[in-house]
Amino acid sequence: MNFRCALALAATIFLANGPVVAEEPVWRGGISTIGELKHKDGFVRFDYVNPDAPKGGELKLSETGTYDTFNLILAKGEAAASVAALVFDTLLKSAEDEITASYGLLAEGVSYPDDFSSATFRLR
């Protein structure tokens, strides 16, 4: 088969099937594997959060064990036990009043297919 025949065949196949168009992702404020999300996109706070809760005060926490660094990325040394919870944040935050729902924390939006086989996150 010469080049012109191959080119004509490729053009015929392309024109018959039409161009491949990528679908625009549907961005959601959270994800729930069972049922619908309770809160709509852009909600201010969870229902169980008291916006008028007293602020200020002192919190003392204790941990068993020792540490010699606050840097969790170092391959050397013993990191403090609870540093990860204080330094790093997650893409999504689980809702305490919904079984399988998570809402964007660092992620502004999440896009996923109906079978939940993958997820794409849009960061704030």
pLDDT of residue 77: 81
Residue percentage of the chain with pLDDT more than 90: 35
pLDDT tens, position by position, 20-77: 566 788 899 999 988 899 998 888 899 999 999 999 999 887 878 788 887 777 778 8
Beta bridge partners of 28: 110
Q: What is the percent of the chain where pLDDT is above 70?
A: 81
Which residue intervals of the chain are DSSP H helices?
3-17, 83-87
The answer on pLDDT for 121 being more than 90 is yes
Other C-beta atoms closer than 10 Å to the C-beta of 110 total: 21
pLDDT for residue 103: 94
pTM over 0.85: no
Query: Pick the residue with more confidence: 88 or 107?
Result: 107
